[in-house]
Amino acid sequence: MASRIRVEQIARSLAALSLLAMGLSALVAPRDGFSLDHAVPQSSQANLSRRLMQREVSLHQRSEAETLLKAFARAQMTRHYWGEFAGSLPDLGLSSGSQFQATVNRDAVRTRLWLKPHHGTEAYLAEVERSGGRLRMHHCRGDRKAAGQAAEGHCPDGWQRISLK
């Protein structure tokens, strides 16, 4: 029993000494130890940093676009209830800000908002249409090259329908 306790004490002491040695070596010479930063060349780090920044900007832009698409659809549904679809964002009390080029198209049956960001590769669509006495809406996102090219009631080819709540 005493030898078992002694073996456990020795094992704990060795583990503690190992952790102490690692901590001290990091304090004394932090740049000489192994680091993931040293394993990657500087150009790859800059490229990774640039891609991460672009990704963050894209996610923020997507969030802003989806908020505007949802507000547009709801405002157009309300506006239609009182008469007809609005012909522009200012008529709805909305603004696309400086980061998007917004285009509103409407006719007696439907209205569409196309959003193209000034930077980035995604574009967005919100559509509200009257169908059988009811209003329906859908939202899409996809490659900005296909923006403005969609059959009524459908997302452009290659785009995906998104659900906004």
Taking only the tens place, the pLDDT of each residue in 42-64 is 678 888 888 888 888 788 888 99
pLDDT band at 90, cuts 50/70/90?
very high
| Residue 44, token pair as written in the block | 């790859």
C-alpha to C-alpha distance for 80 and 56, rounded to whole angstroms = 36
User: Cβ neighbours of residue 147 under 8 Å, at least 6 residues apart?
Assistant: 114, 116, 123, 125, 156
Strand-pair category, 100-106 with 110-117: antiparallel
- Would the pTM of this model clear 0.75, i.e. be above it? no
Taking only the tens place, the pLDDT of each residue in 141-155 is 998 887 777 777 788
pLDDT band at 32, cuts 50/70/90?
very low
C-alpha to C-alpha distance for 54 and 104, rounded to whole angstroms = 27
Strand-pair category, 110-117 with 122-131: antiparallel
C-alpha to C-alpha distance for 134 and 6, rounded to whole angstroms = 81
C-alpha to C-alpha distance for 113 and 36, rounded to whole angstroms = 46
Q: DSSP 3-state helix, strand, coil percentages of the chain (rounded to 5)? A: 45, 25, 30
Taking only the tens place, the pLDDT of each residue in 94-144 is 998 888 999 999 988 999 999 998 888 889 999 999 888 888 999 999 988
